[in-house]
Structures are given as C-alpha cells and as structure tokens.
Amino acid sequence: MNKLFTPHDLAGLQLPNRLVMAPMTRSRAANGVADVLTARYYSQRASAGLIISEGINVSQQGIGYLFTPGLYTQDQVDAWRCVTDAVHAEGGRIYAQLWHAGRISHNSLLMDGEVPVSSVARPACGARAYAWITSSVPGQIITSEPRALETAEVASIVDDFVAAGQRAMEAGFDGVEVHAANGYLFDQFINGELNTREDRYGGTIENRLRLLLETIDGLSQAIGAQHVGVRISPFGRQHDLQPFDDEPQTWLALADELGLRELAYVHLSDQQAIDADCEDDFLVNFRRAYPGTLIVAGGFDQASGESALQSGKADLIGFGTPFIANPDLVERMAHGWPLAQADRKTLYGLHGARGYTDYPRYIEQTVAAPPKQLMTRASFSADALDRESEQASEAEARSTLTSVVDDFFSAWSDAEWQALAPSLAKTATLQSSQHGEGRGLDDWRRLLSTDTSALLWLRTSNHSIVIGRNGQAAASCYVYGLFGRGRQRLLYGASVVLRFRHHETNGHWILTSAHINVNWCRGDLALAAHWRMSPSDSGWELGDAPPVIVSELDSPWALIRDALPQSDAEVAVRELYSKYSWAIDQGDIALLSDCYTDDAAGGFAPMGPLQGRHAIVGQLKSFRRHWPWMQHFADVVRLKLEPDRRHAQMIVARIIPEQPVDAHGHALYGAHYQIRARLEDDGQWRICWTDYRPGWFTNADVPAFDIGITHA
C-alpha cells in the first residue's frame, strides 16, 4: 500500500495525504505584507496534505531577508487572512512558520541604529543575507556583526513569538510552526560551540534549550499545544554552525522535552544530512523519545519518501522545491506524471507572477511534458529515436544541465561547492581571463573563491543550452557582478561557456570545462587586485593576452554541431535572443546571420529601419566595431506562441548592470525590444521582425505587445 496518499490525523486536523509542502522563503512580499499573488500561490498548492508557509517574521528585529512577510502589524494579519481563506476555499490546510533570523541579518533590514541579535556577539563566518547593498540595490551581502541579547531581553523574544502565534490564529491559520532550524536564532542558542553564555540561557543542555522550550510553552498556553509544531535541524551546519561535544545528547534531550508537550508535530529539516552525519541509531532513539507526529524533509523524492513512511522513520514527508514548479505535486505523484523543473532564477525576489503562480498544472498544459527516461548512449543515436523520443531526451537532459549550471554559479558566487562537486569531472579544466587556469575541483575552488570575499552579488542572464546527439552539450550565459568593500565598488561583465559530456555508465551529465572571459569592468580596480589582469571600461585592447573565449570556436552553437531538437518551443524562442546577443556581442557574423530570416525587417537604433538579412547583418557588423566590449544583458519578460506554434512574439528587456533594480526591489530595465520570430523549415526559430524601444520600466509594468503577427 502506498502510504504517501493515505490520510493522517494531525492533532485533530485531518490530512487527506502525507505530502507536506515544506516552508520556502520566496522574498515576494514587497512591503513585508502578503498580497493577492501570495494567496494564489498557496491556494494553487492546496492539495498538499499540509502547507507550511514560508518563514514569517515575528518582529522587525527578526528580519533576515528582504521582501519576507511578517505577522507583527494588523495590515499583515488582514493580508494573511486573504491567503488562508483562499487555501481553505480549495480544501487545504495551512500552518504559519514563525521565524526570527537572529545573527543571519544585516543592519539595512533593521530599524535605524539596530544590529542583529544572537546568543553571543559572534558573526556567522561567510554567511550572507538578502539585504540592501546600496539604498536601491538589493542582493546577497555579508551579514552584519551581531550583539548578544541581554538576559532581560530574552523574554521579549518569547513575547514576540506568542503575539505572532495569536495573530496567526486570528488570520485563519490552522496552526503555527516555530522555526528553530537552519542556523537561525533558536539554533544559535542550542549550539554548544557557539553559545558560550554564562547566564540561564547558556552552558548546560537544559539552559541552551530553555529559550526554545519557553517559546513553545508560551505558544501552547496561548493557542493550544495541538496548534503548535516545531522545526529543528539536528547536526545541521548551515550558517557557520559547528559541531559540539554533547550534540547527540542535546537533540535527544530536546526530543524528550517535546514528547512531554503533546504538540501537533516535530519537523526534522535536512534529513539527509542527519542520516549522513550522525550515528545510525540516532533517528531510532529520537523516534522513541518523541512518539508524536514526525515530519522529515530534505531532498526526498517519491520513492525515498515512501520508503521513509514504510520504515516508520516518519509520519509525513516534506517536499520543498518540487512544489514550486508543480502546484499539483500530489496529483502528479499519484498518477506518475512527470515533474516540471523550477526556474532557479526566479526562486527569490520580486518577479511578479513569473516563477511564482504561472506554473501550470499537468492537465492544463497544452502539450504534455515528455516522459522521463534513462538516457543511455543509445538515446543519442539519430537512427534509434524518432523526433518525439529525441525531444524527450532533450527535455530530460536540459533539466539536469540547468541544475548543474545553477550549481556552478552558486559555487562561484557563494562558495557553495557541495552541490556541484558530484557533477564535476575529476580532470575538469577551468580557463579564465582573470583567474588563470586550473584542473579539478581543488583548483576550481581555489581560483574562483578569490572572488568571494569582496563579491556583493553575481547575476546571470542570456542563458542557452545546446545538447548534441553524441552525448556532448554546451551552455553559455552572461554574468555581471559587483565587488565592494567600504565605499569602493567595481562592476564587471563576463561571458561564460560550460561544456558537458554524458557518462555512459551511470547516465549522469558531467561538467568537463569552463571558460570565463571578463569583457569589461568599471570602478576601483584595487578590488580586483587578485585577478591576473583586468580589462578597461572599454574592454580588452590590442596587445592584451589572448581571449579565453573565441566566439566562432567556443559558442555552444559551434561546439555542438549535431544538436537534438529542442523539446520546448518557448525555450527555443527565448534562447533565440541569447544566440543573437552572443553573436552581435562576440562578433560572430556567421552566427548573427543565422538569427534572421531572409525577409527580416524592423527598426535598428541608431541605424534606423532595415529590410532583409544582408542589410541587417551588414549594418550590425559596422555597429559592432565601435563597441567591442558591449554585452546585451537582457531578460525575456513576455512571450506568446501563436496557435500554429510556428510564430511567436516576445518582449526582451535590456538589463542595465549599473542599476538592475529599483528602490522597491523590482527588476529594472532601460529599454526593450519587440520581436517577432518564425519557425522555419529546418526546425530553427529566427527573427523576422524587431524594433528597439528606449525607456525605463520594471517587471511590475512590462510593456504590452504592440506589433502583430504576420504569418508569412
């Protein structure tokens, strides 16, 4: 019997299945207040047995990330009431996760003059908060130095959680979850290596658990223990938490205490880390000490989740990221339907509906997603597969490669190498105009980590992936980043090409090489003293070292000659602009020519109206000579396929790296292109009309289409 889809009694709340939507920060609340999109987002996912909301700040002091919602004002309560009403109208159940980030915060998020608080005045080494880099530019930034809470202040933390719990019930939530995991405030008190306090909240296990237990008891008295859950992450190492001597005993003592309180549940976060880092019998002992409902989360898929239920390790399984792109995750798993992949670029931040409420249910998709299949070497043989099967292979490969690309940039910008390491070939080569050359994981980590200390943020755009029938693939994108130290700033732009091969034995994609070419930088070059050499603000000059990337040789379209057909027409149209931008910026005229139909036309500032491929390419070639360093950073912000699926139009918004967001955190653009594209007989999408429109706008007020489709 498949237990995932059986009901469960959660302290009197009847759950129709055992899939829990785990709490996930999305940073979508512009003013700390939930809105109509929040209501739509959660109500779309109401078929989950239980929804646990994103972390909700219990006070302004507790904020650790921009654009996260709160429950400390009446406006916030009223807004959450709209969310819970929407979820309940769809038959769902929802708990509010109550959160205080503690030292994982930044001064710019707090009231004037305040600094983050913690158990002790010790910062989290290498930890970053999503905060204001400048007064108008948000991004990942090193957390501020915290101060230790005074003994007399600790009671106010309990009061804030109790008040937020009462507001949550007023707002219609079915209960609350205390966020005591992942290195945030409660973890900062529980951890014996960090918490060196000498008062009643530090030292012994009993003292280090005191704040959390006082908070749980206060909430239980105020709203009822049956409405209170708690999330913990035993042996967690997030945000610079270190091992400590009595670690297993601490967590088992907590299990004993929680077992006495008849709570709704205990939620273990990062279950895979627990399995890997602690004694085999820890979970058995924890389960014995805490007999109530146990939720486990962290990297589960349907099979491993079912196994955890069947073995008795857990009563409910938390799924996080899969719920983002699959609002109907329960139905997809129940019917064996394929899962969609989340767009990692829109996981956080103010992107409107994009990447938030625009993921369709499986039955709403006009074309069903291709079934998943193991990609053996045979799946890249043109003779063995028809076009439909090739598209299925392309879709599966693209999903995997997209994740590896994201892992690469997480490693570069945040020194998060754990996810990338398994996908990196042992002899993978790195060639970089600024970092030098290296081979293998240790060299990659050593070279790229030189950027981390001064890097305020790193963003990517203009992504493309080309997958070959021979088990080879290549990806390209643009990068723009900002170094900062004190008042010093250095902005730079780069081009990146990654190469992959398909492992014949295990079916995995392996990253084999990375080429990074910095095209320009502006600002204080002292911040790039660790670079081998730096371009001027006009790019590389005659006599500089040979470029790492040669457009005609190193683009994905040159490296992969026999490509699989793209499985998703919208992706193909989006990547058409990436192909165009690479061609014009890198000076690859043959590739540029392949971006246009013979009868292409439109407005080409500053040249004016042009007609025909030859005229367009000739003028753009002359234009390119004057700005050899230019990069057309851009996002496709609107796209529409016509019913014939052979014509499309899109709006491409130009990113200005000096000002990528407005004062409210919305993505900001300095101009846009209105583009028409046509699918030609060779299976390639090409531009048939384009017009350039200057003028600032944000992703909250994207221009409408104002050119029609001509079916030529």
What residues does 697 pair with on adjacent strands?
Answer: 669
Structure tokens at 264: 């709704």
Beta-carbon contacts of 433 under 8 Å, excluding residues fewer than 6 positions away, are: 516, 517, 518, 532, 533, 535, 545, 547, 548
Catalytic residue among 72, 95, 130, 184: 184
Going by the DSSP 8-state scheme, the letter that residue 55 receives in this structure is E
Going by the DSSP 8-state scheme, the letter that residue 48 receives in this structure is S
Query: Does residue 95 carry a catalytic annotation?
Result: no
Beta-carbon contacts of 443 under 8 Å, excluding residues fewer than 6 positions away, are: 430
230: helix, strand or coil = strand
Q: DSSP labels for 602-638?
A: EEETTTEEEESHHHHHHHHHHHHHH-TT----EEEEE
Q: What angle do CA 121, 105, 658 make, to 5 degrees?
A: 130
- H/E stretch holding 94 reads strand 94-99
Q: What angle do CA 694, 695, 696 make, to 5 degrees?
A: 140
Residues 539 and 629 sit within 8 Å (Cβ to Cβ)? yes
Q: Among 320, 331, 326, which residue's Cα sits nearest to residue 341?
A: 326
Q: What angle do CA 699, 700, 701 make, to 5 degrees?
A: 90
Residue type present at position 85: D
Which alpha helices (H) appear in 7-54, and where do they start and end? Answer: 36-44
Residues 409 and 580 sit within 8 Å (Cβ to Cβ)? no
Map tokens 């939530």 to a residue: 173
Beta-carbon contacts of 534 under 8 Å, excluding residues fewer than 6 positions away, are: 434, 518, 521, 525, 528
- H/E stretch holding 670 reads strand 668-679
Residues 575 and 684 sit within 8 Å (Cβ to Cβ)? no
Which sign, positive or negative, has the C-alpha torsion 335, 338, 343, 348? positive
How far is residue 503 CA from its own chain's centroid? Answer: 26
Map tokens 């507790």 to a residue: 62
Residues 656 and 667 sit within 8 Å (Cβ to Cβ)? no
Map tokens 């859950």 to a residue: 229
Q: Among 521, 537, 535, 515, which residue's Cα sits nearest to residue 482?
A: 521
Q: DSSP labels for 557-593?
A: HHH-SSBPPPS-HHHHHHHHHHHHHHHHHHT-HHHHH
Going by the DSSP 8-state scheme, the letter that residue 286 receives in this structure is H
* Sheet strands (E) in 448-504: 455-467, 472-485, 488-502
Tell me what percent of the chain is helix, strand and coil, each rounded to the nearest 5.
35, 30, 40
Query: Which residues belong to the active site?
Result: 184
